[in-house]
Homo-oligomer: A and B are copies of this chain.
Amino acid sequence: MATIKDIAKAAKCSISTVSYALNNDNRISDRTANRIKMIAKEMNYFPSAAARNLKRQNTKTILVAISDFGGPVYNELLDGIHHELVNHDYTMIVSTGVSSDKMLKQRSADGAIISDINIEDNFLKKVAVNFEPIIVLDRQLKEDTIFNLTIDNEILMYNLTKDVISHGYKKIAFVHGVKNAYDNESRFLGLKKALNECGKSVFREFTGNFTKESGAEIAKDIIKLDNKPDMIVCSNDEMALGIMEELINNNYKIPGDIGVSGFDDIMLSSYFHPKLSSVRIDHFSWGKRIAKTMVQLLNKEKVKIEKEQGTVIRRESY
């Protein structure tokens, strides 16, 4: 393991000269700088992140904490974040579960982007004392060094519900994802607001956990009902897909017998038959916006915090 000392020895100069040369400090002559760079390359030298991080008191790394790598939602989002961070010479690392906790506690990055409802508010607040900035995508958390960059769930679900109503549905049920999760509650709020405005109320509520499997279970309950909803608005796509599959397997026609809608517009949604109606979020550009904000925060620039917008996509399922 070649260190800066070895390069200095090989180049017959001091370690500071090596450091300056490799960091393109312009007080080193081009001749020396190039010579040193050549030697470093030959010796396969790369500065140790550990040493550099300690000295510089930064890592040029941003941590993104997500709840799981399976969620189809994260794909474009992470791509967007990465795309933008790289432009600003930052490295992106992604973690889940206890790995996220450790990374946060130990301040292994210069900033963190959180999209994992399993991480508790109190934990984040404690972390935020030593570690800033933190951007949260999955909750509203008012704290000086925590920034909330969420989706505009309420408005979007409001719009979707209005569209659903305009297509003549009367008995509109809602399928909750995880209760108390920000995304779920704000979507529910939007639904209720739209229904209220039309003098309606929620026909019935069900509670899943954002997974396809929980959707299938709920569908089984619905099948048993005497007075069934004619429309099932779901808090996300995966539950909607689970519900549709189960209903279809039991010979229900969608949207003939019951309409279904989702939220997020994951890829799968447009491959399913019937194609799921949903709310499309451009996760890639949202990701870019998040990363831009992160960089601005790191640079102590002013940022503007705006909720991410989207569009209602009506396909075949209602």
Chain A contact residues, CB within 8 Å of chain B? 1-2, 44, 46-54, 57, 59, 61, 68-70, 72, 74-76, 78-79, 82, 85-86, 91-99, 102-103, 105-108, 126, 129-130, 241, 245, 268, 271-273
Contacts and interface: CB of A to CB of B under 8 A. Distances in A.
28 contacts: A44-B126, A44-B129, A44-B130, A46-B107, A46-B130, A48-B107, A49-B103, A49-B108, A50-B57, A50-B107, A50-B108, A51-B54, A52-B106, A54-B54, A69-B74, A69-B75, A82-B99, A91-B95, A91-B102, A91-B103, A92-B96, A93-B95, A93-B103, A94-B95, A241-B271, A268-B268, A271-B272, A273-B273
B50 A59 contact: yes
A95 B97 contact: no
Contacts of A85: 99
Determine how many copies of this chain the complex contains: 2
A100 to B, nearest CB: 9
A23 to B, nearest CB: 14
Contacts of A98: 86, 91
B69 A78 contact: yes
Contacts of A50: 50, 53-54, 57, 59, 107-108
Q: Which of A49, A74, A268, A273 has the most CB of B within 10 A?
A: A49
Contacts of A61: 108
A243 to B, nearest CB: 13
A150 B272 CA distance: 32
Given A49-B107, A69-B69, A130-B46, A92 B82 contact: no
Contacts of A75: 68-70
Contacts of A105: 46
B271 A49 contact: no
